[in-house]
Structures are given as structure tokens and as C-alpha cells.
Amino acid sequence: MGLKLNDDFLWGGAIAAHQAEGAWNVGGKGVSIADILTAGAHEKPREITDGVIEGLNYPNHHGIYFYDTYKADLALMAEMGFKAFRTSIAWTRIFPNGDDAAPNEEGLQFYDDMFDEMNRLGIEPVITLNHFEMPYHLVTEYGGWSDRRLIDFFVKYAETVFTRYKDKVKYWMTHNEISNQANLTDETMGEFMIWTNSGLKFPEGTPAEEKLAAMVQAGHYELVASAKAVQIGHAINPDFVIGGMLNVAPLYPASSKPADMLAVQKARQARDWFSDVHVRGEYPAEFEAFAKRTGMRPDITEEDREALRAGTVDYLAISYYNSFVIKATSDDDAEFDNLHGYEIVPNPEVQVSDWGWAIDPQGLRYTLNELNDLYPGLPIMIVENGFGAYDEVVDGKVHDQYRIDYLKAHVAEVEKAVVMDGIPVIGYLSWGPIDIVSAGTGEMSKRYGYIYVDLDDMGEGSGERLRKDSFDWYKQVIASHGVDL
């Protein structure tokens, strides 16, 4: 038995344009930074190629053909009773190069039709402006978000779509998982994260300090762009609800050693400045001290700071998948900073998925409480959570009890956070309600869906959709307002 949530709670699911739509060069769309990512696998990073190279496997070129199938797919979401559906606008359908003088009407029309369809089905659109899919041209011509001019390109794009869809979309978020790039030294995923967030790719052997300074600069421009978009959005429609979006994961100390606890705090601060700026419009003192101490000297003007203060977000959108354990590599606390003094170690207390992601439902309740401690009363929407797993089709059925188990345990913790802890969570959108291309690995076989899509890692298959066992489970959860888990 779960705890009942209010009728207006936004149950649903979430995807991103580049992982689903395909049609990468159709309808006037330009090349995005996702279009030049090859397929990888667990612990085999996706390759970032110089442009599209013939003969390589680029899974985002086809996605699940959502560009052509969205009506039928949305009908399946409606069948599950979805109240809300999150997707992104592919920036490159609107401004194919990012610096174009005028938007591409065919791209604008495509989302007009899609949002009309959602509204017709009674499904609230929740829209991400920038989900790992900025125009590749902005990388080749400007060096991605290392260039201040990106602020204006993004703001123009945001203003264009806010104006166009002002009566069709109410819930927005600016940059997907903006703080991922703080993990830029991660051996397997670091390169991916700074690429997808900022369009930055460093030559082999670039010192970590240099990468960190570039990330801070890019992150700052992204935050200013977000804040300006928030302000413009509210001017276009005061009813808009515009959020920042972050991946959140609890960090646990490896032991009760004080150095481990301090290391946890430092690891958290290495990411939390993004949400602090989104929510409070100010850099935290710790960040300012760090920038000064390292001699980083980011380009942050007084005018930027004013923009940040004036464009704070209405809510936080979060993704939650897993938790991590942090171990101090030194007892000397003077060494702790964003790059030094700690490492991530396995957690012997929890199980992991086939991709090594820790399964930690209680960590979700912990995280929701922690966020509310940091930003009291700020609405939180969970816009990603789910279990990437291999599925097997037997006689046209997928018995995905493992996925139901994961989701059931996580939803139960969300309900406790809302009902017992009083945390203002306004929605739960699970990730990939229909199977899509994995962002991290480019695989099709890392599946999150309630709906199975018959396509494999090479893009082969009929594309047919099948309801998994979890489809009926989620339908019953939504219908019972979270009681029948």
C-alpha cells in the first residue's frame, strides 16, 4: 500500500528529443552535438567525432522514430493515465545553426502539432529547452559555451519558443542536468558530461585545473542565459513555471572518519553552486573563495550578477537514479577542494544495476529532504527516475518485474517525502516511459520503458511497440493516486 497523493500531482514520464525523435536531418533540422556521438556501451565511452563520419553508428540519427510516431506513442501514455509528459525541443529544429537570423518555421510547426496533441489528450507538456543537444555549429564556430555570445543565442531561442507556445506550455526548464559537468574528471563519463552540457572537448593531456576553469566559465554563461530566459519567460506569460534542472544523488561518507565527512561536503559543494545560483541568484561563499584561491578569475560581470539575481527559478526539476560513497584520500583537510582529496568507492550496502548504478530508493527520500533543507518550500518536480535494464521478449510479452520493483520502491519513498515529511514535490515523471536511446552509452538495449520498442543497438528491428508488465502496473499507480503500488 502506498500513501495517497493529491489529485493535481503530475504523474507521467520524460524523454529528450535527441534520444527519441530521430529525423536528425529532416524538416530543416541542423546537426546537434548529439548527432556526432557514436554508440558506446557500459564502460565504453561514446566517441565524439569531428562531424558525421560515414559508416559509423550514430544512434541518435534514428532514435525511436518519435518524429513520425509521436501521436501513437502519446496515445499509449494517455492510456496509462499520464497527467504530464516531459520532452525537449530540439534547439536545432528551431535554429539549425544556433546563430541563424530567423527561426525555422517547419521546426516550430512540428512542436505546435506535438503540444496540441498533448493538450488534446489532457497531458500537460513539461518542456526542456536544452537537453544535451545544442547546435554543433555553435561548437565549431564559437567553441561552445566558452564563448559569451552563446548567452544571446540561447536567450533568442528561448524567447522564440516561449512566444510561440505561450498558450500551450506552462512548465519549462532551461538546461538539463546543468551540474553534470562538475564530474569532468570522471574517467569514463567526464568527457561526455562536459560535451553534452557545454560543447567543450579538451585535447588529450589538458590539465585538470584548466578543464575545471573552462567548466566554471561555461557553467556561468549557462546560468546567466538561464536567468535571462526566466525573466523573459515571465514577461511573455506570468503563469509560466520555469525551473532549473539537476541530477541529484546522495553522497555518503565511506566511514565515520571526520575526513570522509568533510570530503562528502566538499564533493557536494563542487556541484551545489549550480543550484544555489538557480535558486538564490547568488554564488555561495565557498565557490567565490575557491575561484579566488585557485586564481581562476572567471569572467563574471556585475551585470551578470544582476541578471542572476533577477532570474531565479520557480522550481527545481531533478533526476534521481543512484547514490555514491565518498572516501577521503588524504587526512589533510587543507587538500580538499573540487578536484582533490576524495574518490568515489563502491557501496557494499546496496545492489547495482547491470550498468553498475547503485539502487537506493531511500536515498531519494533523503535527497528530497536535503533539497528542502537547502531551499525551503521550493517546489520540486522529479523529472527523471527509472531502471535501465535488459529486457527479453517472450511470446510478445516482457515480464519486467525487476523494473516494477525498482519503481515501486522509489515511488513509495517519494510518497513518504510528500506525506510524512511535507516536502513540496509536485510531480513524478519517470525516465523513458517508452524505450529510447541511452544518453550515456548510446545503447538501445539499456531500456527504461513501460513500452518496449523493437529496435536493437544497431538500429535494426521493426520499431513495433509492446506494453510491458510495468505498463499495467504504472497505470494502476496513477489511477489510484499512488495507493496501489
Which triple of cell numbers denotes residue 5?
A: 497523493
* Under rule CB under 6 A, residue 181 binds ligand P53: no
Q: How far is the CB of 355 from ligand P53 (least distance, A)?
A: 7
User: Between 161 and 193, whose beta carbon lies closer to ligand P53?
Assistant: 193
Question: What is the number of residues in the chain?
Answer: 485
Q: Binding residues for ligand P53, how many (CB under 6 A)?
A: 17
User: Between 183 and 312, whose beta carbon lies closer to ligand P53?
Assistant: 183
Q: Binder to ligand P53 among 92, 104, 217, 319 (CB under 6 A)?
A: 319
What span, in angstroms and rounded, lies between the C-alpha atoms of 23 and 63? Answer: 8
Question: Strands 171-175 and 380-384, how do they pair?
Answer: unpaired
- Looking at residue 481, the DSSP 8-state letter turns out to be T
Q: How far is the CB of 359 from ligand P53 (least distance, A)?
A: 14
**Local structure of 228: helix, strand or coil:** helix
Distances (CA, A) of 73 to 112, 121, 158: 17, 12, 26
CB 48 within 8 A of CB 191: yes
* Under rule CB under 6 A, residue 127 binds ligand P53: no
The separation between CA 208 and the C-alpha centre of its own chain, rounded to angstroms, equals 24
Q: Binder to ligand P53 among 177, 191, 360, 457 (CB under 6 A)?
A: 177
User: Between 30 and 63, whose beta carbon lies closer to ligand P53?
Assistant: 63
Q: Binder to ligand P53 among 84, 439, 444, 455 (CB under 6 A)?
A: 439
122 contact partners, CB below 8 Å, separation of at least 6: 78, 83
Q: Binder to ligand P53 among 45, 440, 449, 482 (CB under 6 A)?
A: 440
Q: How many CA atoms lie within 13 A of 294 on its CB side?
A: 23
What span, in angstroms and rounded, lies between the C-alpha atoms of 90 and 30? Answer: 9
CB 231 within 8 A of CB 240: no
Question: Strands 380-384 and 425-431, how do they pair?
Answer: parallel
What span, in angstroms and rounded, lies between the C-alpha atoms of 202 and 90? Answer: 25
Question: Strands 380-384 and 315-319, how do they pair?
Answer: parallel
Task: Fill in the per-residue mask, 13 to 52: x = in contact with ligand P53 (CB under 6 A), - = not in contact.
Answer: ---x--x---------------------------------
Q: Binder to ligand P53 among 73, 384, 413, 415 (CB under 6 A)?
A: 384
* Under rule CB under 6 A, residue 431 binds ligand P53: yes
Q: How far is the CB of 431 from ligand P53 (least distance, A)?
A: 5
Residue nearest to ligand P53 (CB): 440
CB 133 within 8 A of CB 91: yes
Q: Binder to ligand P53 among 62, 83, 211, 446 (CB under 6 A)?
A: 446
- Position 6: which residue type? N
Q: How far is the CB of 335 from ligand P53 (least distance, A)?
A: 27
Q: Binder to ligand P53 among 438, 473, 474, 482 (CB under 6 A)?
A: 438
Q: How far is the CB of 3 from ligand P53 (least distance, A)?
A: 27
* Under rule CB under 6 A, residue 183 binds ligand P53: no
Which triple of cell numbers denotes residue 368?
A: 528530497
Backbone angles phi, psi at 413, to 5 degrees: -70, -35
Q: How far is the CB of 390 from ligand P53 (least distance, A)?
A: 12
Q: Binder to ligand P53 among 82, 441, 447, 449 (CB under 6 A)?
A: 441
Backbone angles phi, psi at 319, to 5 degrees: -110, 145
- Position 388: which residue type? G
Task: Fill in the per-residue mask, 243 to 262: x = in contact with ligand P53 (CB under 6 A), - = not in contact.
Answer: ----x---------------
User: Between 19 and 275, whose beta carbon lies closer to ligand P53?
Assistant: 19
Which triple of cell numbers denotes residue 187?
A: 574517467
* Under rule CB under 6 A, residue 133 binds ligand P53: no
Residues 41-100 that bind ligand P53 (CB under 6 A): none
Residues involved in catalysis: 177, 384
Q: Which stretch binds ligand P53 (CB under 6 A): 135-143, 153-161, 172-180, 203-211?
A: 172-180
* Under rule CB under 6 A, residue 176 binds ligand P53: yes
Q: How far is the CB of 417 from ligand P53 (least distance, A)?
A: 20
Q: Which stretch binds ligand P53 (CB under 6 A): 174-182, 198-206, 265-273, 326-334?
A: 174-182
Nearest to 128 by CA among 71, 74, 86: 86
Q: How far is the CB of 482 from ligand P53 (least distance, A)?
A: 23
Q: Binder to ligand P53 among 363, 388, 427, 482 (CB under 6 A)?
A: 388
CB 42 within 8 A of CB 441: yes
Q: Which residues of 395-426 are buried (b: 16+ CB within 10 A; e: fewer)?
A: eeebebebbbebbbbbbbbbbbbbeeeebbbb
Angle at 394 between CA 485 and CA 78, to 5 degrees: 45
CB 481 within 8 A of CB 462: no
Q: How far is the CB of 440 from ligand P53 (least distance, A)?
A: 3
Q: How far is the CB of 177 from ligand P53 (least distance, A)?
A: 5
* Under rule CB under 6 A, residue 321 binds ligand P53: yes
User: Between 283 and 321, whose beta carbon lies closer to ligand P53?
Assistant: 321
Q: Which chain residues interact with ligand P53 by CB under 6 A? A: 16, 19, 176-177, 180, 189, 247, 319, 321, 384, 388, 431, 438-441, 446
